[in-house]
Chain A
Amino acid sequence: QKEVEQNSGPLSVPEGAIASLNCTYSDRGSQSFFWYRQYSGKSPELIMSIYSNGDKEDGRFTAQLNKASQYVSLLIRDSQPSDSATYLCAAIPIQGAQKLVFGQGTRLTINP
């Protein structure tokens, strides 16, 4: 069973601080990784994609991938109350496959 695991939280972070979200995956063959944000009752919204080991930055967001440790993370700098949401980690389990396998999501609350 190909799994993506996340700490379900809730994770509470003060406004302006860095929020750190973590994810592990079981399928060593996974090649593509994504972070989605999901507000309550809404659909997943793509934030970041990452395919290679290392860091990838986009504005206040940084995704980190470590394939040897099978670990993906998302850092949110200068956290804002509008960042309060559930963050979903997802992976495509093997090269050429098409389905996304999602984690259960981490609920993040930014406190003003």
Chain B
Amino acid sequence: EPEVTQTPSHQVTQMGQEVILRCVPISNHLYFYWYRQILGQKVEFLVSFYNNEISEKSEIFDDQFSVERPDGSNFTLKIRSTKLEDSAMYFCASSDRVNQPQHFGDGTRLSIL
């Protein structure tokens, strides 16, 4: 069964450094998403991406965040200057249409020191 893949599985970064999280969505899917889950808390929406542009973003997704689809398969989340509170699991998801189930990758555990 096709799946969303994310790399790395764990990223440890010093506060203030830039980090890029990578995702390969399911190949025939057109909608891509990033979510995060701080330990013990809800899964929170960050951003959705369609047709090479952001279609929706949350209040969490401020100027330090950006997303990109640099080629036909990868979808990346960049955090420009990481803060301690950015420590969380970051999940990439994809879906083939709006309002349809979103399939999640295994996540990247981001630890900011």
Contacts and interface: CB of A to CB of B under 8 A. Distances in A.
Contacts of B100: 32, 49
B101 A49 contact: yes
Contacts of A105: 42
B75 to A, nearest CB: 14
A96 B100 CA distance: 10
Interface residues of B, number: 26
A47 to B, nearest CB: 10
Interface in B37-82: 41-45, 48, 50, 55-56, 58
Given A31-B99, A43-B91, A49-B101, A99 B107 contact: no
A65 interface: no
A42 B42 contact: no
B101 A44 contact: no
A26 B103 CA distance: 24
B102 A100 contact: yes
Contacts of B42: 102-105
Q: Is the interface of A mostly helix, strand, loop or mixed?
A: loop
Q: Is the interface of B mostly helix, strand, loop or mixed?
A: strand
A49 B99 CA distance: 10
A68 interface: no
Contact of A92 (B41, B89, B99, B104): B99
B98 A98 contact: yes
B91 A44 contact: yes
Contacts of A23: none
Nearest to A92: B99
Interface in B4-25: none
